[in-house]
Amino acid sequence: MVLSLENSASLGGLENLVREMANVRSVEHGDVAAELSARPDYSSIGPKFGSDADNVAQIIENMDHDTVQKLDRREEVVVDGFDIQPGDVKIDSNTNEEFGSTDLSAGELHLDMAMTQDIRREALTAELARDIQEARKQEGLEVDDKVELRLSGDTDKVNDENLAETVNTSSVTKGEVDQKKGESSLEDLQVEFGFSRNG
């Protein structure tokens, strides 16, 4: 998550809360490369430019990035003899497709939506942990009851250490699952699991 805020201290000590609530790995401050484009605000250019409003609208729609950037910085520009001010345009910020973006009252928020291998691994492990916890509950196991866990399928995409801590296992073995208790999937990945109570 990248925050472009007017005041980088706006979050104060809330970064950890934002990271946890939004389920993101990190919160960074800065700018994300974006292509700016402008649209005419007809409610402004109509009365202001009268019969030239259509010409001005076309000029605004064809503005290059640098000119739009000036308007975004609240500067006025002169193009083909027309004095165009920030209030005459609506500015759109088009970021890379891997980013989801939204405007905030004090800036912008950009969320990197790219699914890296590490994130896929974490997501599959979290999904698997939830499903195992649910299966443990259905089996009547207590939270402190240790189990011997067996996994099959895309097990190389599972973080064994995180999984073992989350579901209270004494061991995690990979191979054929004898007594299948359930399965977890994430996109094209699938893992079957089974477990037995330890002792």
Residue 104 pLDDT grade (very low, low, confident, very high; cuts 50, 70, 90) = low
At 172, list the tokens: 């995690």
Coil, helix or strand at residue 136: helix
Count of other CB atoms within 10 angstroms of residue 156: 10
| 80 and 150 belong to one structural domain | no
At 72, list the tokens: 């975004």
Task: Please tell me which of 3-17, 49-63, 85-99, 169-183 the model is most confident about, judged by mean pLDDT.
Answer: 49-63
Q: Which domain holds residue 10?
A: 2-112
Query: Each residue of 103-138: b (16+ CB within 10 Å) or e?
Result: eeeeebbbebeeeeeeebbebbbbbbbebbeebbee
Which one has a higher pLDDT value, 163 or 20?
163
| 99 and 122 belong to one structural domain | no
Residue 111 pLDDT grade (very low, low, confident, very high; cuts 50, 70, 90) = low
Q: What total number of domains does the chain contain?
A: 2
How confident is the prediction for the chain on average, in pLDDT?
Answer: 81
Q: What is the pLDDT of residues 144-154, one digit of tens each?
A: 888 888 999 99
| 72 and 154 belong to one structural domain | no
Cα–Cα nearest to 108, from 34, 41, 39? 34
> For residue 101, is pLDDT > 70?
no
| 71 and 103 belong to one structural domain | yes
Coil, helix or strand at residue 127: helix
From 58, 90, 112, the end of a domain falls on: 112
Q: Tell me, what's the pLDDT at 73? A: 87
Strands 182-186 and 189-197: antiparallel
CA distance 27 to 110: 10
| 76 and 170 belong to one structural domain | no
CA distance 88 to 153: 58
| 37 and 108 belong to one structural domain | yes
Sign for the pseudo-dihedral over CA of 135, 139, 142, 147? negative
| 178 and 141 belong to one structural domain | yes
Cα–Cα nearest to 152, from 190, 195, 198, 197? 190
Q: Tell me, what's the pLDDT at 121? A: 86
